[in-house]
């Protein structure tokens, strides 16, 4: 995310891809639960796949310079995740490998405007796809492991960093031995960890997925009232539940400095489940945004201050493709 006094850079894509310095925006407490409206903003969608693996790409974050974090590889045995950054103008030479040293798998999940990336890595690539995960951050080619000091971690351990702002505050989650997720913030400068919780349900399973420059955090949690997976936006001590009306789950995965939240919601369950991307804005609510080639399989993971979106969808051939959507 960018500092508020920096100018947002627009993207021209080619088709062929501890303490925070700023005060939080005031929002009303409560629940944002409404059916998504037809989206009034039109987007130009561009499919972006690394040619090293055209069958599986996920784009997970975008900064205000138009630089994108992502990875290829499904994670199945013999098909490991491999991280990369993608730079405009998004030709194949602009995919730059980024993998934690000596790792077997890496996902690059987020990046800020100052050259810091975050993600997680694994020393495993098993047939069951049950692998250890360790959070990391990187700058100027120097990699650092960052794992919450958990007292009862899962076995194998699961710890992931998923987003970072321009104050070098990252967010993520770790899993305990019972499989519950615990969200946290990590200040890269001070090496300080702090928990992110729902104030009304501090023991609820929760993942902190994104953070903006005001320190506002978006993520997912198990709603203690319904048992459903809902999204949330936490602004200071205010915790806003984000749930699409009628959806079986809602996941908030990205947020920008305008408190525009992006993610995915699911209609139905089991074999009838379909996934749609969404944007949500204070005072405007939910809007559905689907890639035209993945109208029932769209996930939006990242958004910058210009409203550019990145994510992924499943195409007619069953491949997972990354996409960029430009307003």
Yes or no: say if 81 and 61 are a contact pair by the CB < 8 Å rule.
Answer: no
66, HSE (Cβ side, Cα atoms, 13 Å): 17
198 exposure class (CB count in 10 Å sphere: 0-12, 13-18, 19+): buried
pLDDT at 41: 83
Asked if the structure places residue 206 within a domain, the reply is yes
- Please spell the DSSP secondary structure of 226-274, one letter per residue: T--EEEEEEETTEEEEEEETT-SEEEEEEE-TT--EEEEEEESSGGG-E
Asked if the structure places residue 18 within a domain, the reply is no
Widest distance between CA atoms in the chain:
49
* Domains contained in the chain, number: 1
Asked if the structure places residue 207 within a domain, the reply is yes
Asked if the structure places residue 1 within a domain, the reply is no
pLDDT at 94: 98
Asked if the structure places residue 7 within a domain, the reply is no
What's the whole-model pTM score?
0.90
Asked if the structure places residue 80 within a domain, the reply is yes
| pLDDT tens across the length of the chain (327 residues) | 333 333 334 444 333 332 222 233 333 345 677 788 755 689 999 999 999 999 999 999 999 999 999 999 999 999 999 999 999 999 999 999 999 999 999 999 999 999 999 999 999 999 999 999 999 999 999 999 999 999 999 999 999 999 999 999 999 999 999 999 999 999 999 999 999 999 999 999 999 999 999 999 999 999 999 999 999 999 999 999 999 999 999 999 999 999 999 999 999 989 899 999 999 999 999 999 999 999 999 999 999 999 999 999 999 999 999 999 999
CATH code at 67? 2.120.10.30
Asked if the structure places residue 296 within a domain, the reply is yes
Range of the domain at 41: 30-326
Asked if the structure places residue 15 within a domain, the reply is no
Q: Give me the helices (H) in the chain, please.
A: none
């Amino acid at each position: 995310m960018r500092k508020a006094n920096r100018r947002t850079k627009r993207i021209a894509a080619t088709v062929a891809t501890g303490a925070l310095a700023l005060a939080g925006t005031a929002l009303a407490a409560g629940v944002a639960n409404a059916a998504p409206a037809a989206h009034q903003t039109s987007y130009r969608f561009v499919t972006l796949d690394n040619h090293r693996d055209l069958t599986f790409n996920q784009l997970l974050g975008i900064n205000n310079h138009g630089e994108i974090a992502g990875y290829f590889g499904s994670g199945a045995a013999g098909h490991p995740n491999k991280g990369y950054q993608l730079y405009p103008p998004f030709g194949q030479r602009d995919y730059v490998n980024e993998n934690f040293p000596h790792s077997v798998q890496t996902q690059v999940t987020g990046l800020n405007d100052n050259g810091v990336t975050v993600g997680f890595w694994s020393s495993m690539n098993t047939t069951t796809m049950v692998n250890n995960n360790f959070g990391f951050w990187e700058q100027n080619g120097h990699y650092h492991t960052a794992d919450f000091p958990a007292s009862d971690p899962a076995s194998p351990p699961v710890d992931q960093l998923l987003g970072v702002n321009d104050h070098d505050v990252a967010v993520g989650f770790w899993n305990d031995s019972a499989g519950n997720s615990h969200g946290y913030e990590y200040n890269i400068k001070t090496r300080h960890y702090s928990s992110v919780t729902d104030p009304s349900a501090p023991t609820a399973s929760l993942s902190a997925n994104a953070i903006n420059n005001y320190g506002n955090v978006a993520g997912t949690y198990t709603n203690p009232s319904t048992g459903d997976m809902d999204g949330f936006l936490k602004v200071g001590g205010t915790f806003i539940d984000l749930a699409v009306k009628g959806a079986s789950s809602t996941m908030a995965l990205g947020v920008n400095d305008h408190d525009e939240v992006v993610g995915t919601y699911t209609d139905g369950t089991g074999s009838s489940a379909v996934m749609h991307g969404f944007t949500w804005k204070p005072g405007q609510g939910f809007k559905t945004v689907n890639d035209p080639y993945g109208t029932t399989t769209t996930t939006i993971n990242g958004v910058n201050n210009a409203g550019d979106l990145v994510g992924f969808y499943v195409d007619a051939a069953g491949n997972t493709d990354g996409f960029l959507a430009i307003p």
